[in-house]
A and B are shown apart, each in its own frame.
Chain A
Amino acid sequence: MEFGPHLLLATLEGAISAAVLALIAVGLSIVFGIMRVVNVAHGEFYMLGAVMAWWITSHVGGHPAIGFLLALIVAPIMVGSIAALADHLILRRINYDPERTIVATIGLLYVLQQLTLMTFGADARPVEAPFNMRIALPWFENGVDGWSMYWPWGLSTTTYKLAVIVAAVVVLVGLWLFMTRTRAGLIMRATQLNRDMALAHGIPVEKIYALVFGLGAGLAALASVLVVPIQQAHYLMGGDPLLLAFIVVIIGGLGSIPGTIVAAILIGMSDGIISVFFSPTLAKILATLLVAFVLIFRPQGLMGKPAK
């Protein structure tokens, strides 16, 4: 395949990575932004969403879309509820202390991972996409007769992959509207800005924290349900997305949702493109190097606020 069509293919793969990564990283970012908790178990919530999606779809008969739609609704709610329970049982009891929550969420990571292994086994589990029509993509060339369109062999994608990008955009726009236009979003932002004054205005901060922790985990689970028909569900699948989500959140600026989305596009696209042209390992190496440079030259990230 020529370079141009190959680049388009790589860009499409990158856009899918960016869309999924944006959902995962925004979940991590709102948890840090509002609760000041570095959730090391975030990748396991992503993994749980995928495993639950497999479990639900394998128990629901009929058209694959029925099981998938059910998984799309139930898995994020279940994972969000598990996260809210973890907040209640663990994080609240250590008073959301920044250092202790890191250790506690590392513990939670292993508990969730090993429980999944014990319950569902170590096999990678496939989930059938609800629809998966292949679409050939056109390319353009400037020949002797001027510009013309043609259909290069191998330049194609699937309707499902395009749907993942659209779904991620819809969820992110919905989240933005929720945070900026609703009463609940206003309460969350007030809690983020000044915890004590939120309490002094009747806001039950601990309940908001449980809600935020559940929302963050639910977004990670939603991302994994969307991606599991492309990849497979596996009890160790949370590691890579966690690393990339941390990279995105640091580059975007801790707690900044717009910065997180911009960084997710940057990292997701470069991850997709570099993985197609070179290797996924090189993509991870470059992303990690980028974080190092950001930490040296702009520690607050692209859109974060400098520490006072």
Chain B
Amino acid sequence: MLNVKNIEVAYDKVQVLFDVSFDVKSGEIFCLLGRNGAGKTTALKSIMGLLPLKTGSIQFDNQTLSTMAPYDVPKQGIAYVPQGRGLFSELTVAQNIEIGLMVKNSGAATRERVLDIFPRLRERLKQRADTLSGGEQQMLAMARALSMEPKLLLLDEPTEGLQPSIIKLIQDVIVNMKQAGVAIVLVEHHIETVLTIADRVAFVENGRCQKIAEINDLKNNPEEIHRYLGVN
């Protein structure tokens, strides 16, 4: 489904990604793990076309994303929830979701389905996004992404700074999306979440993809996590 092949990315003259390759299948949760500044967010932005590639290519469903205009990338069925949520802060909850619905001209049925997943947002439809609590903002970011009816979902630290009940809700939504056949690329620091829901993990270090491992292998070999991340 998603094939990232030998990509190199730089911010002006500072190269951030070096020869990174991975692929993600439909219905799979693929996690990028690494310390801060390793290049995980850069990889997601590159997939979305927000950063140009120096070399390499990114393909999705037999389409080359890396040669498309950035605004055509989401129309292929790719949704992105960035770190910090990236909400349109001065727009209401309803307007944020509407922006997501516009991508595929989805109608009221999709909107209702998304609001059924996050019923708390239904009570706040006319509220500005920047007046929501942190947990509600993350729900809105997820709801906006789901309203795009994605085939591939890119999530950058979706559980960062959230209380356990919201983390559980977000995890459940991610697992439900996977079961519906959506491919998911997850950047996550919360190791418990990774071990609970991911299928495969790529360790990213200094802009290089050092190792790709099955999650069961990691569960049986926790020192691997310690080696790359410095955590137990």
- Asked if B34 is at the interface of the complex by the 8 Å CB criterion, the answer is no
A298 CA / B20 CA spacing, docked (Å)? 48
Interface residues of B in 48-87 (CB under 8 A from A): 48-50, 69-75, 80, 82, 86-87
- State how many angstroms separate the Cβ of A36 from the closest Cβ of chain B: 16
Question: Inside 8 A of A189's CB, which chain B residues have their CB?
Answer: 88, 90-91
Interface residues of B in 146-164 (CB under 8 A from A): 148
- Asked if B169 is at the interface of the complex by the 8 Å CB criterion, the answer is no
* B88 and A202 contacting across the interface, CB-CB below 8 Å: no
* A199 and B50 contacting across the interface, CB-CB below 8 Å: yes
A45 CA / B102 CA spacing, docked (Å)? 33
* A197 and B82 contacting across the interface, CB-CB below 8 Å: yes
* B50 and A190 contacting across the interface, CB-CB below 8 Å: no
Taking residues whose C-beta sits less than 8 angstroms from the other chain, chain A's interface range is 10 to 19
CB-based A-B contact count at 8 angstroms: 60
* A202 and B86 contacting across the interface, CB-CB below 8 Å: no
- Asked if B95 is at the interface of the complex by the 8 Å CB criterion, the answer is yes
Q: Per a CB cutoff under 8 Å, which of A194, A199, A200, A201 touches B102?
A: A201
* A202 and B102 contacting across the interface, CB-CB below 8 Å: yes
* B98 and A186 contacting across the interface, CB-CB below 8 Å: yes
* B75 and A193 contacting across the interface, CB-CB below 8 Å: no
CB-based nearest A residue for B144: A201
Q: Per a CB cutoff under 8 Å, which of B75, B86, B95, B148 touches A194?
A: B86
* B99 and A201 contacting across the interface, CB-CB below 8 Å: yes
* B91 and A200 contacting across the interface, CB-CB below 8 Å: no
Interface residues of B in 71-119 (CB under 8 A from A): 71-75, 80, 82, 86-91, 95, 98-100, 102-103
Max chain B C-beta neighbours (<10 A), residue from A189, A193, A202, A204: A202
A190 CA / B103 CA spacing, docked (Å)? 13
Q: Per a CB cutoff under 8 Å, which of B48, B69, B90, B98 touches A200?
A: B48
CB-based nearest B residue for A191: B88
Question: Inside 8 A of A200's CB, which chain B residues have their CB?
Answer: 48, 50, 70, 73-74, 80, 82, 86
* B88 and A199 contacting across the interface, CB-CB below 8 Å: no
Given A189-B91, A193-B89, A202-B74, 16 additional A-B pairs, CB 8 A: A183-B102, A189-B88, A193-B90, A194-B87, A194-B88, A197-B88, A199-B48, A199-B50, A200-B48, A200-B86, A201-B99, A201-B102, A202-B72, A202-B75, A202-B102, A204-B71
- 17 contacting pairs across A/B (C-beta < 8 A): A186-B98, A189-B88, A194-B88, A197-B88, A199-B49, A199-B71, A201-B74, A201-B102, A201-B103, A201-B148, A202-B72, A202-B74, A203-B71, A203-B99, A204-B69, A204-B71, A205-B71
A-B CB proximity, top 9 nearest? A197-B86, A202-B103, A199-B70, A193-B88, A202-B74, A204-B71, A200-B80, A190-B88, A201-B99
